[in-house]
């Protein structure tokens, strides 16, 4: 109980609320009601606003959310983090975060089993896998936000830290929107991807906080 600091309790609370929010979204996706009832109309709106330039931008953004690309980037960044910081912890945090994102994506997709929008709406190669939650959105959000968090706790200037946080948010949002725009996902798939990603990130942060508290108490003992 001594470890249940305010920060830890807040982290656990947010994690639980995130899990509940996802459960509500999943129920709506399965039943086709709630927020999911707006999916067809939102998809039509995105399709109506398609242009050649926007399509190229969306395809470029979504490219970086592919499993192979994100895996490669994770390996490279983990290696760079180990070399530049001379510590294992940043690399391990990123690796664990991305591995968890992959497991969550696969497990939740199979569990929910939601079908994607009609293939005739897709711009690009058709994906026949399950739709909910959006794996591109979930994994890329975890990747971008973890990098921003690692940058935030480094020794760079505050301006760079703020810029990193803004870039992470913008890229995460852009990835999600690109998936709806290109016809690969319903809007609620993307919303669920963001929800799971932020919940997972909150859990990671809470665990790291507990580890740090225990370490500091051992040193002061």
Instruction: Please state, in angstroms and rounded to a whole number, the distance separating the CA atoms of residues 185 and 123.
Output: 12
What average pLDDT score do residues 106-127 get? 93
User: 193: closest CA among 122, 149, 111, 137?
Assistant: 137
pLDDT in tens, 143-191: 999 999 999 988 889 999 999 999 999 999 999 999 999 999 999 999 9
Q: CA-based angle 99:100:103, to the nearest 5? A: 90
Write out pLDDT tens, residues 7-45.
788 888 999 999 999 999 999 999 999 999 999 999 999
Q: Are 128 and 114 in contact (CB under 8 A)?
A: no
Query: pLDDT-based confidence at 2, cuts 50/70/90?
Result: low
Q: CA-CA distances (angstroms) from residue 98 to 150, 159, 199, 207?
A: 14, 26, 13, 15
């Amino acid at each position: 109980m001594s470890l249940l600091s305010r920060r830890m309790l807040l982290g656990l609370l947010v994690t639980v609320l995130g899990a509940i929010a996802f459960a509500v979204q999943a129920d709506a996706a399965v039943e086709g009601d709630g927020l999911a009832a707006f999916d067809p109309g939102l998809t039509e709106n995105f399709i109506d606003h398609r242009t050649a330039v926007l399509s190229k931008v969306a395809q470029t953004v979504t490219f970086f959310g592919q499993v192979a690309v994100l895996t490669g980037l994770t390996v490279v960044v983990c290696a760079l983090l180990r070399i530049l910081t001379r510590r294992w912890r940043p690399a391990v945090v990123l690796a664990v975060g991305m591995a968890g994102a992959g497991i969550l994506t696969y497990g939740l997709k199979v569990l929910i089993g939601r079908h994607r929008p009609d293939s005739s709406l897709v711009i690009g190669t058709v994906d026949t896998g399950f739709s909910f939650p959006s794996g591109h959105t979930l994994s890329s959000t975890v990747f971008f936000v973890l990098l921003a968090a690692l940058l935030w706790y480094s020794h760079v200037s505050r301006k760079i830290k703020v810029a990193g946080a803004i870039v992470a948010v913008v890229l995460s949002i852009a990835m999600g929107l690109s998936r709806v725009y290109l016809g690969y996902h319903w809007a609620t798939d993307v919303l669920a991807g963001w929800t799971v990603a932020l919940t997972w990130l909150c859990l990671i942060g809470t665990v790291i906080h507990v580890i740090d508290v225990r370490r500091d108490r051992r040193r002061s003992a």
